[in-house]
Amino acid sequence: MDFTFPKEYQLLRRMVREFAQNEVAPLAREIDEKKEIPRQLIDKAARLGLLGVPFPQKYGGMGAGETGYCIVMEELNKVCGSLAVIIGAHIGIGATAIYLDGSEELKKKYLTPLARGELIGAFALTEPGAGSDAASIRTRAERDGDDYVLNGSKIFITNGKLSDVVSLLAVTDPSLGARGGVTAFVIEKTFPGFSTGTEEDKMGIRGSDTTELILENCRVPKENVIGEVGMGFITFMKTLDLGRLSLGAACLGAAQLALEASVKWARIRHLFGKPIAHKQSIQFMIADMATEIEALRSLVYRTAWLVDTGQPFSREAAMCKLYGSEVLHRCVDRAVQIHGGMGYMRDYFIELMYRDARITEIFEGTSEIQRIVIASDIFRQEGVRISP
Amino acid sequence: MDFALDEELRMFQKMFRDFAQNEIAPLAETLDREERPPLETLKLAAEQGFLGAPFPERYGGAEIGTIGYCMMLEEIGKVCMSTAMIIEVHTSIAAMGIYLDGTEEQKQTYLKPLALGEKIGSFALTEPGAGSDAASVQTTAIRDGDEYVLNGNKIWIINGSIAGTFVVFARTDPEKGARGITAFIVEKDTPGFTVGRNEKMMGLRGVPVATLFFDDCRVPAANILGGEEKLNQGFVTAMKALDYGRLSVGAICLGVAQGALEAGVQFACEREQFGGPIALKQAIQNFIADAATEIEALRYLVYHTAWMVDQGQKYTREAAMAKLFGAEVAGRVVNNMLQTHGGYGYTKDYPIERIYRDVRASRIFEGTSEVQRFVIAADILGERGLKIRP
Per domain, the residue ranges of chain A are 7-120, 122-229, 234-381
Tell me the pLDDT tens digit for each residue of B131-154: 778 788 999 999 999 999 999 999
- The Cα–Cα gap between B305 and B315 comes to 7
The answer to whether the CB of A79 falls within 8 A of the CB of A28 is yes
CB count in 10 Å sphere of residue B62:
20
What interface predicted TM-score (ipTM) does this complex get?
Answer: 0.89
Distance CA A51, CA A162 (A): 14
B279, A379 Cβ separation under 8 angstroms: yes
Name residues 314-343 of chain B within 8 A of A (Cβ).
Answer: 317-318, 321, 324-325
All structural domains of chain B, each given as residue ranges with its CATH number in brackets, are 7-120 (1.10.540.10), 122-233 (2.40.110.10), 236-383 (1.20.140.10)
d(CA B269, nearest CA chain A) in Å: 7
pLDDT above 90: residue A10: yes
Residue pair B256/B362 in contact by the 8 Å Cβ criterion: yes
- A contact test, residue of B266, B285, B324 with most A CBs within 10 A: B285
DSSP secondary structure string for all residues of A52-91: STTS-GGGT----HHHHHHHHHHHHHHH-HHHHHHHIIII
Helix (H, G, I), strand (E, B) or coil at B271: coil
Distances in whole angstroms, Cα of residue A160 to Cα of each of A50, A86, A89, A165: 20, 10, 10, 9
**CB contacts, 8 Å: A371 with chain B:** 282, 285-286, 289-290
Second CATH level (architecture) for the domain A7-120: Orthogonal Bundle (1.10)
Q: Is residue A244 within 8 angstroms of chain B, CB to CB? A: no
Asked if A21 has any chain B CB less than 8 Å from its own CB, the reply is no
* Contact assessment for residue B251 and residue B71, using Cβ atoms and an 8 Å cutoff: yes
- Calculate helix-pair angle for A314-339, A280-308, nearest 10 degrees: 160
3-state secondary structure of B252: helix
Query: Are the beta carbons of A283 and B378 separated by less than 8 Å?
Result: yes
Q: Is the pTM of this model over 0.80?
A: yes
Q: Is A221 helix (H, G, I), strand (E, B) or coil?
A: strand
Q: Amino acid identity of B327?
A: A
- Taking the Cβ of residue B370 and every Cβ of chain A, the question of whether any pair is shorter than 8 Å is answered with yes
**Residue A104 annotated in active site:** no
Distance in angstroms between the alpha carbons of the first and the last residue of chain B: 37
A44-71 confidence digits (pLDDT tens): 999 999 999 999 999 999 999 999 999 9
Contact B280 A386 (CB under 8 A): yes
Q: What phi-psi label fits residue B130: left (phi over 0), alpha (psi between -120 and 50 degrees) or beta?
A: beta
Chain B residue numbers touching A382 (CB-CB < 8 A):
265-266, 269, 279
A343 backbone dihedrals φ, ψ, rounded to 5°: -70, -15
Which residues in chain A are contacts of B388 at CB distance < 8 A? 277-278, 283
> How far apart, in whole angstroms, are the C-alpha atoms of residue A139 and residue A346?
40
Q: Are the C-beta atoms of residues B157 and B124 closer than 8 Å to each other?
A: yes
Query: Which chain B residues touch A373 with a CB distance below 8 Å?
Result: 289
Containing A178, the helix (H) or strand (E) segment is helix A178-181
Taking residue B14's Cβ as centre, other Cβ atoms within 10 Å add up to 11
Residue B288 to residue A3, Cβ atoms within 8 A: no
Provide the β-strand partners of residue A211.
A157, A199
Confidence of residue A178 (pLDDT cuts 50, 70, 90): confident
The architecture of the domain spanning A234-381 is Up-down Bundle (1.20)
**Stretch 147-206 of chain A: residues touching chain B, C-beta under 8 Å:** none
Please give the pLDDT value at position B208. Answer: 97
The pLDDT of residue B54 is 98
- Give dist(CA B93, CA B243) in Å, integer: 9
Residue A130 has pLDDT above 90, yes or no: no
Instruction: Name chain B contacts of A10, Cβ cutoff 8 Å.
Output: none
Cβ distance of B269 and A379 shorter than 8 Å: yes
> How many CB atoms lie under 10 A from the CB of residue A105?
10
Burial call B307-320: b when 16+ CB within 10 Å, e when fewer: bbbbeeeebbbbbb
Report how far residue B185's alpha carbon sits from residue B110's, in angstroms, rounded to the nearest whole number. 8
Q: Helix-strand-coil percent breakdown of chain B, rounded to 5?
A: 60, 15, 25
pLDDT of residue B90: 98
A290:B376 CB<8 A = yes
How long a stretch of residues is chain B? 390
Q: Inform me whether the C-beta atom of residue A32 falls under 8 Å from chain B C-beta atoms.
A: no
Rounded to a whole number, what is the distance in Å from the CA of A138 to chain B's nearest CA?
27
CB contacts of A299 in chain B (<8 Å) are 296-297, 300
Number of helices and strands in chain B (H, E): 13, 9
Among A180-184, A345-349, B239-243, the least confident range: A345-349
From the CA of B128, how many Å to the nearest CA of chain A? 24
CA distance A2 to B137: 40
Measured distance CA(B110)–CA(A222) in Å, rounded: 78
- Residue A247: predicted pLDDT: 98
Q: Check if the beta carbon of residue B318 is closer than 8 Å to that of residue B304.
A: yes
A310 touches B: beta carbon within 8 Å: no
Domains A7-120 and A234-381 share a fold: no
Does domain A122-229 sit in CATH 2.40.110.10?
yes
Confidence band of A134 (pLDDT split at 50, 70, 90): confident
pLDDT of residue A92: 96
B290 reaches A (C-beta below 8 A): yes
Residue A388: pLDDT band (50, 70, 90) is confident
Cβ distance B266 to A299 less than 8 Å, yes or no, reads no
Phi, psi of B188 (to 5 degrees): -50, -45
Rounded CA gap, A237 and A233, in Å?
A: 6
Going by pLDDT thresholds of 50, 70 and 90, the confidence category of residue A27 is: very high
Report the SS3 class of residue B121.
strand
Nearest-Cα residue of chain B relative to residue A284? B373
**Confidence at residue A95, expressed as pLDDT on a 0 to 100 scale:** 98
Closest CA to A69 of A83, A97, A49: A49
| Strand blocks (E) in chain B | 121-124, 140-144, 147-158, 165-171, 181-187, 193-198, 209-220, 272-273, 276-277
Helices (H), strands (E): how many in chain A?
14, 10
Residues of A in contact with B372 (CB under 8 A): 287
Q: Please give the share of chain A, as a percent, with pLDDT higher than 90.
A: 95
Give the residues of chain B that fall short of pLDDT 50. Answer: none
| Distance in angstroms between the alpha carbons of the first and the last residue of chain A | 37
